[in-house]
Amino acid sequence: MIDMTDVRVRFAPSPTGHLHIGGARQALFNYLFAKHHNGKFIIRIEDTDQARNVEAATDKLLNSMKWLGVDWDEGPDEDGGFGPYRSMERMDTYEKYVQQLLDQDLAYYCYMTSEELEKEREEQLARGEMPKYSGRDRNLTADERAAYEAKGIEPVVRFKVPGGETIHIDDAIRGEVSFDTDGIGDFIIARTDGVPTYNFAVSVDDYLMKISHVIRGEEHLSNTPLRS
């Protein structure tokens, strides 16, 4: 049974352009769900992809939402005590949790270059395997890390996905959905410049903002294990 007390849902668009029909549909579902259960509807701007962000896109998104008649309880212009509501204004928070995972040996620095990763991917495909990170740098020694850094290689941070486990997700539409962790691979949570990836940032924010339900398109179901 899904708990419908203290419902808090969010629409978290990236400011990369105009609000498209899929985003509007997602926002409406979240908004109507929140109103039906006397909950809160939150807008959060996920602007970690600096290369794709478009100037003034956030204002366009918010204006489009207002045109649709969708009001929000919390957002960039309506602080409900859980802000900031823009990812790039939450960098200190993300850095704290990345460091916590590193300290607990739940994450690690990876020094593989894009060329090495592409070669690894091509080799896996040639063997008929589903491409995923091999885990080459998972257990580097301090000396090995120092050697990479001496070459000027800037690392990303990867999350250590436990092997041989099954992640169970309670989906309100499909029921229980399961994912085998051996098929995921250690994924990146922070880029070389320290900016978090979307899946990590959204997980931290959902946790801290006490999001009760995540309502997204079915195509995003496969991303769910990265946030569990």
Do 104 and 171 share a domain, yes or no?
yes
Do 185 and 111 share a domain, yes or no?
yes
What is d(CA 224, CA 228) in angstroms, rounded to the nearest whole number? 6
Do 62 and 20 share a domain, yes or no?
yes
Domain span including residue 43: 8-89
Q: For residue 120, what is the domain's CATH number?
A: 3.90.800.10
State the distance between the two ends of the chain, measured CA to CA, in whole angstroms. 19
Task: Say how many residues make up the chain.
Answer: 228
Task: Return the higher-pLDDT residue of 217 and 69.
Answer: 69
Do 125 and 184 share a domain, yes or no?
yes
57 in the Ramachandran plot: left (φ > 0), alpha (ψ -120 to 50) or beta?
A: alpha
Helix (H) / strand (E) containing 35: helix 21-36
Do 112 and 157 share a domain, yes or no?
yes
Asked whether residue 132 is domain-assigned, the answer is: yes
Q: What is the pLDDT of residues 138-184, one digit of tens each?
A: 999 999 999 999 999 999 999 999 988 888 888 888 888 888 888 88
Asked whether residue 195 is domain-assigned, the answer is: no
pLDDT value of residue 82: 95
What the block records as the tokens of 13 is 């668009």
Q: Once rounded to an integer, what is the mean pLDDT over residues 125-150?
A: 92
Q: Which of 89, 107, 122 is the last residue of a domain?
A: 89
Q: Which of 64, 89, 114 is the last residue of a domain?
A: 89
Q: Taking 80 as the threshold, does the pLDDT of residue 48 lie above it?
A: yes
Asked whether residue 62 is domain-assigned, the answer is: yes
Do 46 and 115 share a domain, yes or no?
no
Do 82 and 97 share a domain, yes or no?
no
Backbone angles phi, psi at 109, to 5 degrees: -85, 135
What the block records as the tokens of 99 is 């460091």
Do 150 and 126 share a domain, yes or no?
yes
Contact criterion met (CB below 8 Å) for 104 and 73: no
What the block records as the tokens of 124 is 């896996």
Do 181 and 107 share a domain, yes or no?
yes
pLDDT value of residue 227: 65
Do 77 and 112 share a domain, yes or no?
no
Do 111 and 146 share a domain, yes or no?
yes
Q: For residue 63, what is the domain's CATH number?
A: 3.40.50.620
Number of domains in the chain: 2
Query: pTM for the whole thing?
Result: 0.89
Do 131 and 170 share a domain, yes or no?
yes
What the block records as the tokens of 147 is 């050697």
